[in-house]
Structure 1
């Protein structure tokens, strides 16, 4: 494993290790860093798959559309805290170190997942039920917001100048793997348990699985080597993160715009498409979940290739062509869905849209990571990603459902993705190619 660091002052892994244990192997390093991101998407996908079941249990609205909107809003509200978590924990990671930050986020995720598992329904405890459910989503959002930036920065800083794209690609790979596993868990529960049992308590089993993984993940992460020299709170870098806005506003703006296209694409393919198939096309949930599985599988399979390719032909080239492909395919895909509403069509569309989604994810992530200096990387990456995700990603399902209801146009979600994609191309035009460059 290359131990190149983004700054020459960074300590070597062997010097920074406080224990006498053997250094982790390359696969274990990647696993340890990316496990939190995997848990993030696992919980989100599980919640999304069971949103139509959770809604009636916690949001007692008689109107079905209103119930769906509230359920999707509860899904989206967790994202509101992600920029806050990114700012707070990202600043902590940029000053104290990546390792303590990524361990902290895992424990916070464990607490939020436990709340999701243990919270009684509205019929059992009344108004406290939706309040606790929302609180769990907010805490989870805060933890996840602080997870992605430090973890991605750590992956980047473990790599050398010829492999940063490949190393960073394991972040979206872990998310795809977790989403595939979440889909398999959801499909198993939906097909094995009777509908009444699934509604009563079966859906909680999926969240229990996520909780059980966290203690093991903490143990593995505790063996990671630090990739950043910690700074003291009283030194001259105390105003550093304000400089992210004052001195690096162009890079910050570009990363937000780039993340808009990424967030809308991922949420549309992995999260919204299964629900769209169930609600608009009247395909049973036990079958429509396969759409999320296909999209997630492609994200898992193609992410390492996309990262490797970005190390060979450039980050901007991979992002440009994958975004154009998504813009070209999204509208015909929805026309196909509504013209031939069947499971085969849904899976075909998931595959067609999943390819550009999977190709753009790693290349975008490494590009936005490289345009920020090391002392601002975790904060800038976290905040830009989650600001874009809160507005254009997490509420994509909410806005798409609302647009369909208001316009009576079943293809409205396609226009939403096209708008987000065009904004992201403006961000791409603002950044230089970073392949092979020495990091700041």
Structure 2
């Protein structure tokens, strides 16, 4: 950390020791939300994109090729995490967030404007794959710096709520994407949606890029800001700090893998409802809109609770309830295939299942030394996403097809939730009011 004389003096609107200003929260989370909107919108229109860029005599083959391209965006996420995340630990959170946002902007424009396979042949899928790789690189470097920023700019007693804007902004993005899909499906014919309607969703995201860049350029920097830590990091080298945090990073990786599977299977529900359950597009998109909207409220509620009762109980107990509810809810959905099950059942699962991750995000950020926080958080997040996020929807689609059982998503979710619960039980408590005594006795960094 820089000496006191080298610290950046707070400009107007700088987060002070009293905590995060509304403008700083808005700037960080809106940028994050816009990035995730651009990234996840692809999954909502996987069927239409498959038709445009991966035409095939087999509807299933076209869908698989489209989902595989969606997965290609996860390959470069660890690279982006290391490059942009470590850059945020050296140069600052703000320049790293501006860099990742700018790259995402270029990629989303390419996705929205590339002609179809019918128009330019094999060049079309090649361009789309390159755009997805660029998206993955930029988003890989987004989450670590943004989470570090939110935690560092907040007062110790409000860290949980501040960091909850990270998962909440992702839910807002997913809700916005699904809502756009819902509106387009209600106002356009299937042929029009297939031909050009899905491009509108991407270009709407691109239209917000100037606003997002303006917000991020105005953010105050937090890298050199004096911190009131729950855990005081020793003045040791980066390698030693990483070694001392190995157990925490390992648990974090497992929990992020679990959360990633849950998130991307949930986002797949629009395609699942249309392709497997054969419900209409309006209800399919509405399912994701409702689940994600509920998830926004749950993410904020989880952060609020984590500030009051600690990180550990808010991780563990809701995760256990989600584990117990997953199979009965999916059984209800598959057997009834009506709006009550799709909206109410999956909405309830989203409510319970979203609460633990706000507590986890802040707990992981608090447990990492500041000088490696952005890069380390980004890297394990991106590795978990690359391995499990990029394959989640493909795996569920494949399992459903080969088994002929519409309950395949529930099996995958049950395994992910159970593994995540085990890791959450082993996570340390890092809330400032509860962690100090245990830290002093254990020497944990």
Q: TM-score, length-normalised on structure 2?
A: 0.89
Q: Quick one: distance in 2 between partners of 1:212 and 1:431? A: 41
Q: Quick one: distance in 1 between partners of 2:87 and 2:412? A: 35
Question: What corresponds to 2:161 in structure 1?
Answer: 166
Q: Quick one: distance in 2 between partners of 1:170 and 1:219? A: 19
Structure 1 residue 12, shift from structure 2 partner: 9.9
Which residue, out of 243, 250, 254, partners 1:257?
254
* 1:101 and 2:96 matched: yes
Structure 1 residue 153, shift from structure 2 partner: 0.2
Segments of structure 2 that go 5 or more residues without pairing to the other structure are: 226-234, 440-444
Q: What whole-Å deviation, never above 9, does each CA across 1:87-135 have from its counterpart, x for those lacking one?
A: 1100000111111101111110110001101111111111111111111
Question: What corresponds to 2:133 in structure 1?
Answer: 138
Question: What corresponds to 1:299 in structure 2?
Answer: 295
Q: Quick one: distance in 2 between partners of 1:52 and 1:33? A: 32
Number of residue pairs matched by the alignment? 423
- Cα RMSD over matched residues? 2.3
| Contact 1:176 1:299 survives alignment (8 Å) | yes
Residues 3-402 of structure 1 mapped to structure 2, 5 A cutoff: 15-17=9-11, 23=14, 26-229=21-224, 240=238, 242-243=239-240, 246-269=243-266, 271-402=267-398
Structure 1 residue 46, shift from structure 2 partner: 2.0
| Contact 1:260 1:423 survives alignment (8 Å) | no
Structure 1 residue 76, shift from structure 2 partner: 1.6
Q: Which moved more, 1:30-39 or 1:192-201?
A: 192-201
Q: Quick one: distance in 2 between partners of 1:104 and 1:203? A: 27
Structure 1 residue 147, shift from structure 2 partner: 0.7
Q: Quick one: distance in 1 between partners of 2:270 and 2:428? A: 37
Structure 1 residue 268, shift from structure 2 partner: 2.1
Structure 1 residue 22, shift from structure 2 partner: 5.3
Q: Quick one: distance in 1 between partners of 2:307 and 2:13? A: 30
Q: Quick one: distance in 2 between partners of 1:11 and 1:334? A: 58
Question: What corresponds to 1:233 in structure 2?
Answer: none
Question: What corresponds to 1:4 in structure 2?
Answer: none
SS in 1 for 2:156: coil
Structure 1 residue 40, shift from structure 2 partner: 2.7
Question: What corresponds to 1:423 in structure 2?
Answer: 419
| Contact 1:13 1:225 survives alignment (8 Å) | no
| Contact 1:50 1:203 survives alignment (8 Å) | yes
